[in-house]
């Protein structure tokens, strides 16, 4: 009887230990559930925003045409590219540097900022040449100082045209800022007033395909001026390039222009905030390839976009894009599905944090569930033993009946083969306790 009692007691002690283990397992599961919730919030925060803002320059500029094409390309991937009007690249740079501004993307020509002035900005590469055009009305301007005392449009405050015209043409003596009347007109306004003879000269920084440039090149009585000492400009300002517009390229019969025209031109870069979501940067780079890779007046096919760092460092994502192209999943899956699967928090961390512990815990939980079915009967057996030890001799038959019922339940209990020995042990212990009880019945 004592041996039986010790055996049942050891089983119950094991049962209590397993209960503590189960509580530990439940605690781990609760912690894992909390981690999963936190990771889900982290994934949501890391997903790219559906609305981003790009600077839109005045109508008549090439920028106004290009950013609309960017908007259309990104719209195909479910991104709503908002266009925020701006006077030009100088104003846009200020907005990009302002953390309270919504603008996060802009086309910016070289020569307007530096990495020290704009540490929060990065470049996605250069896109096209943006020459400085000088159009005059009447006789061509052929000598230094001809922009003295004239009405000259150099672009509105905040525009790259105004900033670079003053920075480059003023010190070179091409524009006399004291005697000339400098007007803050947009490209469209400059064209209208120059054609009507209301101003003498229009200076603006624009790409070859700009509507304003194309209109003035074909307007009778309007001359395109060659930049004097173009090589000196390029030597003094490394962000500038010397370009040649060939004679007759506009109209070979007339010809227009009548002679080769020398131009100086920075390259326009696609500038973004450094914290702009990587997936959006990849979309912008793919859009840039689609929009700017065709041949142009001053470049061959696939010359642009290129990973050039003019004023600002290249984004790490741009460097990777120019080396290997878009991420693998973005090349083969819809954008949002690719972005979701590319989030390491979505699958790597949950798999490591959840599945690995579960693989270790699951067998223990299964083991506990199956054994607990047998241990419940062991608990009843232990209770009957304790009651028999304290009961009067006349109650022996009652306990034998209780043990018989317990034995029947143990016989009917179905457990997996791995746990059969435990069940057989229970039935053996029930028989041993029953035999001990029968010995106490008088003959």
- 3-state secondary structure string across 183-219: ECCCHHHHHHHHHCCCCCEEEEECCCCCHHHHHHHCC
Write the pLDDT tens digit of every residue in 110-126: 999 999 999 999 999 99
Q: What is the mean pLDDT of the chain?
A: 85
> Over 80: is that where the pLDDT of 209 sits?
yes
Rounded-to-integer distance, Cα 38 and Cα 23, Å: 23
pLDDT winner (highest mean) among 13-17, 74-78, 130-134: 130-134
Share of the chain above pLDDT 70, in %: 80
- Can you read off the two tokens belonging to residue 154? 């150099």
Token duo for residue 236: 């003094």
Amino acid 53: pLDDT: 97
Would you place residue 335 in the very low, low, confident or very high pLDDT band (cuts 50, 70, 90)? low
Q: Which residue has better confidence, 60 or 143?
A: 60
Q: Find all residues with CB under 8 Å of 351, minimum gap 6, and list them.
A: none
Q: Of the ranges 3-17, 115-129, 204-218, 350-364, which one carries the lowest mean pLDDT score? A: 3-17
Q: Which of 77, 129, 101, 64 is nearest to 285 (CA)?
A: 77
A 10 A CB-CB count for 43 gives 17
Does position 390 have pLDDT exceeding 90, yes or no?
no
- Strands in 103-109's sheet, in edge-to-edge order, are 80-85, 51-56, 103-109, 267-273, 121-129
Q: What is the pLDDT of residues 11-45, one digit of tens each?
A: 555 455 555 555 655 666 666 666 666 555 555 55
Question: Which residue matches tokens 């060939």?
Answer: 246
pLDDT band at 178 (very low <50, low <70, confident <90, very high): confident
- Residue 3: its pLDDT value, please? 46
Q: Which two tokens stand for residue 411?
A: 């016989």
Q: Which of 93-107, 181-195, 200-214, 330-344 has the lowest mean pLDDT?
A: 330-344
pLDDT recorded at residue 337: 64
Q: Are strands 267-273 and 121-129 parallel, antiparallel or unpaired?
A: antiparallel
Q: 23 or 321: which carries more pLDDT confidence?
A: 321
Residue 210: name the closest of 125, 71, 107 by CA: 107
Question: Could you tell me the two tokens for 91?
Answer: 């104003």
pLDDT bracket for residue 346 (50, 70, 90): low
Share of the chain above pLDDT 90, in %: 54
Q: Are 310 and 157 in contact (CB under 8 A)?
A: no
> From the DSSP assignment, how many helices (H) and strands (E) are in the chain?
15, 12
Supply the pLDDT for residue 160.
Answer: 96
Sequence-distant (6+) residues with CB within 8 A of 109 are 89, 130, 160, 164, 205, 266, 267, 268, 269
Least confident piece of the model among 46-60, 114-128, 163-177, 304-318: 46-60
**pTM for the full model?**
0.70
Residue 246 has pLDDT above 70, yes or no: yes
Is there a contact between 92 and 236 (Cβ–Cβ < 8 Å)? no
């Amino acid at each position: 009887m004592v041996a039986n009692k010790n055996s049942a007691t050891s089983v119950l002690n094991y049962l209590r230990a397993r209960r503590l283990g189960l509580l530990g397992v439940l605690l781990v599961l609760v912690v894992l559930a909390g981690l999963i919730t936190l990771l889900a919030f982290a994934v949501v925060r890391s997903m790219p925003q559906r609305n981003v803002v790009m600077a839109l320059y005045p109508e008549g500029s090439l920028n106004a045409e290009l950013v609309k094409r960017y908007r259309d390309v990104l719209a195909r991937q479910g991104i709503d590219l908002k266009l925020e009007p701006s006077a030009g690249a100088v104003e846009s740079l200020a907005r990009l540097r302002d953390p309270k501004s919504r603008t996060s993307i802009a086309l910016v020509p070289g020569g307007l900022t530096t990495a020290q002035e704009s540490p929060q900005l990065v470049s996605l590469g250069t896109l096209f040449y943006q020459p400085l055009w000088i159009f005059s009305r009447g006789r061509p301007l052929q000598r230094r100082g001809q922009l003295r005392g004239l009405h000259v449009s150099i672009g509105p405050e905040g525009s790259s045209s105004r900033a670079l015209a003053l920075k480059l043409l003023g010190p070179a003596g091409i524009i006399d800022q004291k005697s000339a009347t400098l007007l803050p007109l947009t490209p469209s306004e400059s064209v209208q007033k120059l054609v009507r003879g209301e101003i003498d000269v229009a200076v603006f920084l624009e790409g070859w395909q700009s509507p304003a440039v194309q209109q003035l090149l074909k307007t009778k009585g309007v001359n395109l001026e060659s930049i004097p000492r173009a090589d000196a400009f390029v030597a003094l300002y490394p962000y500038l390039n010397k370009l040649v517009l060939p004679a007759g390229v506009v109209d070979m019969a007339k010809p227009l222009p009548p002679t080769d025209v020398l131009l100086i031109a920075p390259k326009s870069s696609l500038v973004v905030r450094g914290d702009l979501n990587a997936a959006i940067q990849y979309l912008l780079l793919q859009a840039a390839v689609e929009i700017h890779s065709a041949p142009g007046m001053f470049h061959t096919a696939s010359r642009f976009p290129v990973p050039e760092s003019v004023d600002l460092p290249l984004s790490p994502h741009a460097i990777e894009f120019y080396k290997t192209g878009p991420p693998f999943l973005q090349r083969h899956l819809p954008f949002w599905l690719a972005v979701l699967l590319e989030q390491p928090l979505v699958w790597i961390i949950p798999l490591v944090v959840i599945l690995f512990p579960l693989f270790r815990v699951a067998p223990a939980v299964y083991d506990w569930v199956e054994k607990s079915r047998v241990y419940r009967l062991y608990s009843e057996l232990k209770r009957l033993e304790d009651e028999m030890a304290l009961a009067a001799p006349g109650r022996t038959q009652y306990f034998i009946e209780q043990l018989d019922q317990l034995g029947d339940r143990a016989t009917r209990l179905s457990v997996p083969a791995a746990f059969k020995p435990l069940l057989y042990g229970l039935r053996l212990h029930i028989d041993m306790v029953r035999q001990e009880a029968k010995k106490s019945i008088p003959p």
